[in-house]
Structure 1
Amino acid sequence: MTFKMAIIGFGKSANRYHIPYIKQRDIQIKYIQYRTRKPELEASFYDQNTIFTTDLQEVLNDNEVKLVTLCTPPSTHFELGKQVLNSGKNVLIEKPFVNDVAEAKELFQLANQKGLIAMPYQNRRFDSDFLTLKKVLSRGYVGKPLFLESHFDKYRPDSSVHTGKAIDGSFFGLGVHLIDQMIALFGLPSKAGYDIRPIQNSQSTLDDYSETDLFYSGFKATVTTHPLAATPYPRFVLHGTQGSYVKFDIDQQENDLKLGIMPDDPDFGHDTPDQFGIVKYRNQNNDWIERQIPTVNGDYGLVYDSLIDSIENDQPKLVSDTEAIANIQILENGIAIGGPHISDLEQTNDK
């Protein structure tokens, strides 16, 4: 039986990161609800059976809808999430999930009381570069990992003043993904160090640069987002006791989507060989070996595959409540104090 869902919001997030992947699966988007109808966009929508509406209650009152995805502004996530759960439906919430740990705990408590699922949309667990890093770690190429540097940099000059809440800044918008990737790999760190600030205009209250050090026992991960990196850093630099791994170039799914290349294209999201990462390691004879690691193909739609399996077959969630709360705690601690600082974290490890 076709799984039926709804999407709240019909902007870039819904059209770029969700709908192209949903349409490749046995999932029906029964409703798309948003405030201001755009007939020209609706007319070209791939499924003529989808109902476009401005009435949220129409969506929430339909018992056929099992899942609602929120692709709305971050400030609306908490209240909308509660409405969805109180209507008896599971909810998938775009990043950043909510404002703080207290809101996250309240949503998860409500979901658990009702036997439902609330989960952040951490699609970048299925980035090709991240999946390839997982492969390098699982095969033990570099031995025991000692240091990992993760960059998600761009060159987008913007000297205008940006003001607003922390949830609207780069740390919550992009850092949330990079931190989640580290939590997915290594669990919850014991300490975190922060450098979060606006670097393009000091009058801005919203950060556009962030660097976060995550400290583990014998290991450190540094995740960075930079808006003025004309010459890119590697996406990943991993050093271990037996070698190193370096990968340039980010996952290509977003670039292809921007060009109108969709997930059903056989070449969608693929790296070319010149984009493959390089690992250099010592083998059992202490010989140094250097080789390319072909990039594992990414697929953001796997979030939906996993989530539906959790809803229908009671399988563990892709992003556990513990992991989601840890991520928000790291974000919240980062903006709690201005300027560079170190923060202790709870010793809870969900891995």
Structure 2
Amino acid sequence: MQLVKVGLCAFGMSGKIFHAPFLKEHPGFFMSAVVERSKEESKEKYPDAIIFRSVEEMLRYADLELVIVNTPVQTHFAYTKMALEAGKNVIVEKPFTVTVAEAEELIRIADDQNLFISVYQNRRFDRDYLQVQKILSEGILGNLKEVEIRFDRFRTTPSGKDHKENPEQKGSGSLHDLGSHLTDQATQLFGIPERVFADVFSMKGEEFANDYFEVLLYYKDHLRVRLKSSVFTKEDHFAYKIHGDKGSFLQERTDQQESELVAGAIPVYGKEWTRPLSESDGLLSYLNENSETMKLSTQSLPGNYMNYYQQIYEHIVFGYALPSLGNEVVKNMKIIEAALESAEKGKIIDL
């Protein structure tokens, strides 16, 4: 099997949980370099990876085909540009960049260099989202009228992460962080909306970046899609509520890949590796051909972030379709920018 040499720009939570384990277990990747500015924590599990003290040093000396930019969002533009100019393909963590203008410049550079940028939209591989995708593909709900997608947490105290919570840092806050997942799911399922209206602010106070948002997307054919997130949600809601003229589907957010990886689970190449659900996590209610109401409890199938890396590998080696292209994800960023403008001005923004 052809080996793809990869360099990891950071070995914090993202590197340890979402990237390094999958690179190690996938037989087509070799993590040959990792940036750790002062520590050497990667040595225990990844002794073959050369440790560099800066991204610049890694790009200068490491033999790499693919670079993963998993540093704070405020550095995504600079490091991705640096990697592209060094002739490397790039996976960049979400959110892609701080601004649309930055993302568009990186896309131009990648095109000029005949390289690719893929944004790590891992939530496309969550079990709950895949179940929603499946139900919608069956058309059982008829013409869709109203959709709500939520990503809530209960994190009422500051995390101490300046790049995420300091309102003076551009790109900080929940709208860029969790909103990048919700806008991606909305555009994947329903396309680009015509207009945006939003409420975005900090429930913890003005000294913190936004930790609450409600974004309303206006689509043609009278469809409304609402994206919501709060850090003051102790009890779970249905994460997805989808209503059409023939029925409704409610889906819980039940994917546990992140928590299992944090607990030490090892992803497996080529098969499912997460724990199965013990009960149903969805409710489907619809009218059958005789206009009778049918109610079903549903259970989603396992998701797998390894499939993201498998698609990356197949693109590099076989030229197959690339997941979450930069020029596709930049559309999500336009929604985020429109939402911030809407919240500031208190009006609907046309896209």
TM-score (norm. length: structure 2): 0.91
Q: In the alignment, is the contact (CA less than 8 A) between 1:247 and 1:276 conserved in 2?
A: yes
| Counterpart Cα distance in 1 of 2:273 and 2:347 | 41
| Counterpart Cα distance in 2 of 1:66 and 1:294 | 39
Letter in 2 for 1:286: S
Counterparts in 2 of 1:152 and 1:330: CA distance versus 1, 3 Å = same
Q: In the alignment, is the contact (CA less than 8 A) between 1:196 and 1:340 conserved in 2?
A: no
| Structure 1 residues 37-71: Cα deviation after superposition (integer angstroms, max 9, x where no partner) | 23xx23421x3211112143453245741100011
Q: 2:215 aligns with which of 212, 217, 221?
A: 212
Q: In the alignment, is the contact (CA less than 8 A) between 1:248 and 1:275 conserved in 2?
A: no
Give the deviation of 1:251 after TM superposition.
Answer: 1.4
Give the deviation of 1:204 after TM superposition.
Answer: 2.3
| Counterpart Cα distance in 1 of 2:241 and 2:215 | 15
Structure 1, 77-86 or 163-172: larger mean CA deviation = 163-172
Counterpart position of 1:36: 38
| Counterpart Cα distance in 1 of 2:74 and 2:117 | 17
Counterpart position of 1:23: 24
Counterpart position of 2:162: none
SS of the counterpart of 1:338?
Answer: helix
| Counterpart Cα distance in 1 of 2:83 and 2:13 | 22
Structure 1, 320-329 or 205-214: larger mean CA deviation = 320-329
Counterparts in 2 of 1:204 and 1:73: CA distance versus 1, 3 Å = same
Counterpart position of 1:109: 108
| Counterpart Cα distance in 2 of 1:37 and 1:277 | 44
Counterpart position of 1:141: 140
Give the deviation of 1:205 after TM superposition.
Answer: 4.7
Q: In the alignment, is the contact (CA less than 8 A) between 2:203 and 2:212 conserved in 1?
A: yes
Q: In the alignment, is the contact (CA less than 8 A) between 1:277 and 1:293 conserved in 2?
A: yes
Give the deviation of 1:162 after TM superposition.
Answer: 4.4
Percent of residue pairs bearing the same amino acid type: 29
What are the ranges of 5 or more consecutive residues in structure 2 without an aligned counterpart?
160-164
Counterpart position of 2:298: 293
Counterparts in 2 of 1:19 and 1:341: CA distance versus 1, 3 Å = farther
Counterparts in 2 of 1:244 and 1:84: CA distance versus 1, 3 Å = same
SS of the counterpart of 2:228?
Answer: strand
| Counterpart Cα distance in 1 of 2:67 and 2:166 | 31
What are the ranges of 5 or more consecutive residues in structure 1 without an aligned counterpart?
346-351
SS of the counterpart of 2:196?
Answer: strand
SS of the counterpart of 2:48?
Answer: coil
| Counterpart Cα distance in 2 of 1:216 and 1:44 | 50
Counterpart position of 2:332: 327
Question: Which structure 2 residues correspond to residues 196-345 of structure 1 after superposition, within 5 A?
Answer: 196-201=200-205, 203-217=206-220, 218-264=222-268, 268-336=273-341, 337-338=343-344, 340-345=346-351
Question: Which structure 2 residues correspond to residues 26-105 of structure 1 after superposition, within 5 A?
Answer: 26=27, 27-38=29-40, 41-45=41-45, 47-61=46-60, 64-105=63-104
Counterparts in 2 of 1:162 and 1:61: CA distance versus 1, 3 Å = closer
Counterparts in 2 of 1:288 and 1:231: CA distance versus 1, 3 Å = same
How large is the Cα RMSD of the aligned pairs? 2.1
| Structure 1 residues 209-240: Cα deviation after superposition (integer angstroms, max 9, x where no partner) | 01111111121111111111112211111111
Q: Does 1:184 align with 2:184?
A: no
| Counterpart Cα distance in 2 of 1:194 and 1:97 | 21
Q: In the alignment, is the contact (CA less than 8 A) between 1:10 and 1:33 conserved in 2?
A: yes
Q: In the alignment, is the contact (CA less than 8 A) between 2:267 and 2:306 conserved in 1?
A: no
| Structure 1 residues 160-205: Cα deviation after superposition (integer angstroms, max 9, x where no partner) | 984332411111011111100111111111111111000122x225
Q: In the alignment, is the contact (CA less than 8 A) between 1:198 and 1:206 conserved in 2?
A: yes
